[in-house]
Structure 1
């Protein structure tokens, strides 16, 4: 088939498609021995599921389902939800938002496609702009979002080996601000900064000071700072360290309903200044007419009745924090005598393992595990814009620990067997 440049670019194999194909195969598999540790799917939290089912029943009882399924929202998304969320964020953080500061999309992936291509790629004056990731590794789903090639630049992290009371092997990625400043000073093609917080894949939560420094740099160079907050506060609130949510008119804050437990309803949220929201609305109108309204409709009453944030704080956060503690304990038990390091778990629901002396690449490890029906994600896919020759990017893997303890233990033991 003779595809266009667009067709050739977006039909080639890539990391995010590999991940989703693995998830699809696992979902449709009848194999009772399959160990799925690779996707980003949230866990099924019974109390949360009950809350959503109650809201669904309320919508049915009050004859709102026909309206949800049978009528379009505007291209910016459901007005009632946007107004409720703006009010909630204003109350919680004193941001003075209105619905005009919020746009919805069919999942965060769709929103990032719009944002990245709004700010980077081929520009009207013929120049070529790029998005800078100040801390690699970053979310694998960013890698293939650009309509043009060479749209992303990334900075290698500083790797801090952490001292722990019990001698457990931990490390943490830290932003190399000297390198970030050098790129911004010497490369006038940078048109946006982007960072996830908590970071997918590592569970890293960059500090308030790091966010503040990025914000100042973005303002200095008159470019936006995009913060992917899909796992963060106020919902689902999967942060296990001290961190404050920050927004201003130069920050584009991206949120999601997926990690609340609604990944199938595909609802991404953008909080930004009015100009950016209008731009997203026009692109939505051209691409999809109107974003999906089911997810927003299901959550609106929970927001209005001030039930969503307590649900996150009292149910979702403790649930995943306990999962994190179990995962860390299993890691320390299984890899105690091996040169394997765990990134400090500060948020989200991922383990990021670094095999310092791995004799095969993480991709080869992934393929060997896959033959045993154990699914992880090889780490090199997350080092977007980092040269392939850097050994470290081929020594790491991402594991989702939102599963049950027995499944996680079985997967970690399978990894141990292959690397010994």
Structure 2
């Protein structure tokens, strides 16, 4: 066997090539690194980032809970634990959802993972790809959706999406229409997956839409994974029309990330035992289990009611106020004569902007803003099939609501200025 010693790339497997390709999520992570590393890191205005806002009340809660975990659970947390999750957290999750939503669940219905992103990745490995009945795929019922979903599957073309029609609404707003008929027509999905409220749009499922997706999953006998990273019961960033439901074909995913703990990578899924058990097995064979000290802190937060208090008194009011501020800033900063719209939002921590002009290109805007020390998330990163220039997906971009107010104000001011300078003479660039 020979080894490459001249700096050339190693021989990668098909999976290696698939997982090494540039994706929207990799681009966002690269931008995060750029904005916090090096001598000029402080000059960047990162409006593309997915971090939640640093709220004093929430940060204080996690400091207290983590201190308590250190004092009470450090010895146990330093040891290997069950792949399903720390028993204390599994019990706390079961008790919480029994009391809040009336769910009859036990430990067999729960799995704790190192972030809901990893749980979705494991689910894609378990329920999509080549199998005894052919190749099945992860189907996103509505795109745009979370850019991290694009890199879930280790099989090329393993993630597909149903394009949603943008419909203008009153004023500067628009909304996507979920095409249930198109979802129902898709051949042989292995699983359905979507976020609600959605990232990047903030759009939440209606009860009728949720019922429609459940009916499709039930007919096909595949799992419907619903990612509640921004929704009910925490962090409840905005209102949720259709609360999570317990159903034989539904797996509900929850996360601590947007509740102020993104770096600790704690998420969990609740669903039927037949869908949860293979995920537990896969965790055993990959990452073993989620970080145990953070699990102890989350368990204490659920049991004590501290998490519910932080949601109602700090998280929800902050993002409601920020959404109103961003609408005001965009209306002030966007140049006159440009046809732009903001997606109507039921929740989430982002603003999704559509510039409905043939000359507008999201990557051109991304690169011009990068020259101005501003990061945004280009729209095409949130679609499974990358749109071409002048198509809808290439006319959109995402900005966060969670950065400091001064950063938000100056960043949006520069966005408006750059769009005003661009006009029809844009030159598309390669992917970031």
What TM-score results when the alignment is normalised by the length of structure 1?
0.93
Residue of structure 2 aligned with 1:171, choices 171, 174, 179: 174
2-structure distance, mates of 1:360, 1:160: 19
1:15-39 CA-to-partner distances (Å, cap 9, x unmatched) read: 1111011112212254443211011
1:55-86 CA-to-partner distances (Å, cap 9, x unmatched) read: 22223343x22321x21110111111011111
1:258-304 CA-to-partner distances (Å, cap 9, x unmatched) read: 11101110112111111222111111111012221122211211211
Q: 1:191 Cα shift?
A: 2.0
Alignment partner, residue 424 of structure 2: none
2-structure distance, mates of 1:117, 1:314: 39
Q: 1:336 Cα shift?
A: 6.8
Alignment partner, residue 326 of structure 2: 327
Contact 2:70 2:293 in 1 (8 A): no
2-structure distance, mates of 1:311, 1:31: 31
Alignment partner, residue 4 of structure 2: none
2-structure distance, mates of 1:414, 1:389: 22
Contact 1:358 1:419 in 2 (8 A): no
Residue of structure 2 aligned with 1:88, choices 90, 96, 99: 96
Alignment partner, residue 150 of structure 1: 157
Alignment partner, residue 249 of structure 2: 250
Q: In 2 relative to 1, CA 293–392 (structure 1 residues): closer, same or farther, beyond 3 Å?
A: same
Alignment partner, residue 403 of structure 1: 403
Alignment partner, residue 210 of structure 1: 209
Contact 2:335 2:417 in 1 (8 A): no
Residue of structure 1 aligned with 2:56, choices 28, 46, 50: 46
Contact 1:89 1:95 in 2 (8 A): yes
Residue of structure 1 aligned with 2:148, choices 125, 137, 141: 141
1:292-330 CA-to-partner distances (Å, cap 9, x unmatched) read: 112221121121122322221222111111111111121
Contact 1:120 1:130 in 2 (8 A): yes
Alignment partner, residue 348 of structure 1: 348
Q: In 2 relative to 1, CA 110–390 (structure 1 residues): closer, same or farther, beyond 3 Å?
A: farther
Alignment partner, residue 9 of structure 1: 18
Alignment partner, residue 101 of structure 1: 109
Q: 1:181 Cα shift?
A: 2.6
Q: In 2 relative to 1, CA 91–409 (structure 1 residues): closer, same or farther, beyond 3 Å?
A: same
SS in structure 2 at match of 1:324? helix
Alignment partner, residue 131 of structure 2: 123
1:334-370 CA-to-partner distances (Å, cap 9, x unmatched) read: 2273311100122111000001115242012101111
Q: Determine if the alignment matches structure 1 residue 375 to structure 2 residue 384.
A: no
2-structure distance, mates of 1:241, 1:190: 27
SS in structure 2 at match of 1:245? coil
Q: In 2 relative to 1, CA 391–133 (structure 1 residues): closer, same or farther, beyond 3 Å?
A: same
Contact 1:257 1:295 in 2 (8 A): no
1:182-217 CA-to-partner distances (Å, cap 9, x unmatched) read: 32xxx2x22221111011111111212111111111
1:229-263 CA-to-partner distances (Å, cap 9, x unmatched) read: 11111111112354422232210111111111011
Contact 2:335 2:419 in 1 (8 A): no
Q: In 2 relative to 1, CA 268–59 (structure 1 residues): closer, same or farther, beyond 3 Å?
A: closer
1-structure distance, mates of 2:210, 2:390: 26
2-structure distance, mates of 1:225, 1:57: 37
Alignment partner, residue 196 of structure 1: 195
Unpaired runs of at least 5, structure 1: none
SS in structure 1 at match of 2:352? strand
Alignment partner, residue 425 of structure 2: none
Alignment partner, residue 65 of structure 1: 74
Matches within 5 A, 1:297-316: 297-316=296-315
Q: Determine if the alignment matches structure 1 residue 162 to structure 2 residue 169.
A: yes
Aligned residues, how many? 409
Aligned residues: CA RMSD: 1.7
Contact 2:237 2:348 in 1 (8 A): yes
Contact 1:103 1:277 in 2 (8 A): yes
Contact 1:155 1:386 in 2 (8 A): no
What TM-score results when the alignment is normalised by the length of structure 2?
0.91
Alignment partner, residue 219 of structure 1: 218
2-structure distance, mates of 1:326, 1:176: 31
